[in-house]
């Protein structure tokens, strides 16, 4: 048994009191919680692929890009086997078929050790050249890929990459486009010499 006290000072004996709090009684706080949860589920980076790479010179992966996300981030990191710093060429894949026509255009700013930066361009070739630097000690590359799956738009990219091979430190910033309308669902990294060991992670930009 419990006592209930009223505003006029009277007291009533009651057998039970409902202590549950409804969403209405919580008021706007309940709505805020739901809103935050909804936003958390619809923005940010969502991992769509993790790939372990072991002593490979040609990395192909299909069914990665889809209509779920418009833009993607690719992280490629690890070590290379060749004595000198090498590069990885990048191509788009569509339905298991490589897109190797001369429709890839790119330019990059490149630094090696303490030298002044140099500008390199590759126009109308069958890959995005030097998309990733590959070093024996370490390398890391971050690529933002825009509209790969949307056939109504050209696919474009921005990337940043660095590598160390022996005492040779290199760094590059790239940008480019693929000037053929295609719905690409996959990609290829082709190593210029030797092999690589590392990881590739691909994320979709949710809510963008």
The distance in angstroms from the start CA to the end CA of the chain is: 58
Topology of domain 44-206, per CATH? Jelly Rolls (2.60.120)
| Residues 49-74: tens digit of each pLDDT | 999 999 999 999 999 999 999 999 99
Q: Round to whole Å and give the CA distance between 148 and 141.
A: 18
Q: For residue 116, give the DSSP letter.
A: P
Q: Quick count: other Cβ atoms within 10 Å of Cβ 163? A: 25
Domain layout of the chain by residue ranges: 2-40, 44-206
pLDDT band for position 116 (cuts 50, 70, 90): confident
**Which residue, 14, 153, 172, 18, is CA-closest to 92?**
153
Give the least confident one: 81-90, 150-159, 164-173.
Answer: 164-173
Mean of the pLDDT values across residues 160-188? 92
The residues that bridge with 68 in the sheet, in sequence order, are: none
């Amino acid at each position: 048994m419990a006592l209930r006290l009223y505003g006029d000072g009277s007291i009533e004996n009651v057998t039970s009191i409902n202590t549950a709090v409804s969403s209405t009684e919580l008021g706007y706080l309940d709505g805020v919680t739901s809103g935050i949860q909804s936003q958390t589920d619809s923005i940010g980076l969502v991992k769509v692929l993790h790939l372990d790479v072991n002593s490979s010179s040609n990395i192909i992966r299909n069914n990665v890009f889809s209509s779920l996300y418009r833009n993607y981030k690719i992280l490629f990191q690890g070590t290379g086997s060749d004595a000198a710093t090498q590069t990885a060429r990048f191509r788009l894949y569509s339905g298991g078929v490589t897109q190797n026509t001369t429709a890839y255009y790119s330019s990059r700013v490149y630094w090696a050790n303490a030298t002044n930066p140099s500008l390199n361009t590759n126009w109308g070739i069958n890959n995005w050249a030097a998309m990733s630097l590959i070093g024996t000690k370490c390398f890391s590359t971050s690529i933002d890929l825009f509209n790969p799956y949307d056939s109504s738009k050209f696919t474009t990219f921005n990337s940043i990459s660095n590598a160390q091979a022996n005492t040779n430190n290199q760094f590059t910033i790239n940008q480019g486009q693929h000037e053929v309308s295609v719905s690409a669902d996959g990609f290829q990294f082709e190593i210029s010499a030797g092999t690589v060991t590392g990881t590739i992670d691909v994320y979709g930009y949710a809510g963008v």
